[in-house]
Amino acid sequence: MRNLLILLVILSIHSFANNFKIGVLPYTNSMEIIKLYEPLNSFLSKELNQPIEVYTSKDYKAFYEDSKKNLFDIIITGPHLGTIHINDNFKPLYRYNTKLKPVFVVSKDSNFNTINDLKNSKIVLSGKLSVSSMAGIKVLKNLGFKNDQDYKIIEAKSHTAAIKSVILKEMDAAITTHTPLKQMDDEIKDKIKVIESDYEMPHLFILTNPSVNDKDVEKLKNSLKKFEQSDEGKAFFAKTGYNGFIEISKKDKDDMTSLIEDTKKFLEITNE
């Protein structure tokens, strides 16, 4: 009996140690992320025949650092962070087959109708390391806006928190993208209006950490494509607006070049 108990403990430790971990960028709260990715989690668990857990981190910088420490087998991250990781030998799987575009969310009853109307306003970000925030600030700069002169920036913890602060009239506008808006309740959508920008970027990158061997990379790519074609996958992509998976191209990485310097500055990367 004692030997059996020892064996069970060993098997339990082995199973836990080999749990497959998916890390998702913290663009909203952790419970929403876990709930949203449950269909992918469940499908891959069956495909790979092993337990899979979905994680995130407290903020964007922590997520970058946790990813860098190889705490996750797969990461689903911003294209700017993903480009840095690929340069550090992370292995590309896919990106979502849609574009990221910074948009400005304002209250439905406000007088803001164009980006130029936002002069002398309080603008909230989902986080300074969010690719939508960085691109949104670039849009403002391209229009001649000067920080702390033509607008004031405030940082929130997530896209959801940023948008809600606009609804509560705490902020004038929030910089976000269409993806979190699509995933919000109709009650919230009815209280806002969206001011479009013309700045486009590739969507979230999906990568493995450098320790995953090439054979397993191909296995994961095949499993993800199976998920895309499954009923669960089709429902997931319809709900999120991600539109399936597509290969990460050289152009996708090149499109991030203009944001990499600021990204590294925010990450306090000095030796890369």
From 168, 195, 222, the end of a domain falls on: 195
From 142, 168, 195, the end of a domain falls on: 195
Same domain, 141 and 207: no
Q: Is residue 123 part of a domain?
A: yes
Band of pLDDT at residue 19, cut at 50, 70 and 90: confident
Band of pLDDT at residue 5, cut at 50, 70 and 90: very low
In this predicted structure, what is the pLDDT of residue 246? 98
What are the φ and ψ backbone dihedral angles of 53, each rounded to 5 degrees? -125, 145
Same domain, 87 and 6: yes
In this predicted structure, what is the pLDDT of residue 7? 34
Tens-digit pLDDT profile for residues 189-239: 899 999 999 889 999 999 999 999 999 999 999 999 999 999 999 999 999
Same domain, 219 and 172: no
Same domain, 21 and 133: no
Same domain, 142 and 263: no
Average pLDDT rounded to a whole number, residues 149-153: 92
pLDDT of residue 157 exceeding 60: yes
What is d(CA 208, CA 70) in angstroms, rounded to the nearest whole number?
A: 9
Parent domain of 152: 102-195
Write b or e for each residue in 54-85: b if 16 or more Cβ atoms lie within 10 A of its Cβ, otherwise e. Answer: bbbbebbbebbebbbeeebbbbbbbbbbbbbb
Same domain, 208 and 90: yes
Tokens of 247: 């290969």
Average pLDDT, the chain: 89
Same domain, 185 and 212: no
Number of domains in the chain: 2
Long-range contacts of 69-72 (CB under 8 A, 24+ apart): 70/209, 70/210, 70/211, 71/21, 71/23, 72/21, 72/22, 72/23, 72/209
Same domain, 175 and 249: no
Q: Name residue 23's beta-bridge partners.
A: 55, 75
What is d(CA 61, CA 80) in angstroms, rounded to the nearest whole number?
A: 12
The answer for residues whose C-beta is within 8 angstroms of residue 78's C-beta and 6 or more apart is: 25, 60, 129, 130, 131, 204, 205
- CATH code, domain carrying 106: 3.40.190.10
Q: Is residue 272 part of a domain?
A: no
pLDDT of residue 15 exceeding 50: no
In this predicted structure, what is the pLDDT of residue 270? 57
DSSP state of 125: E
Q: Is residue 144 part of a domain?
A: yes
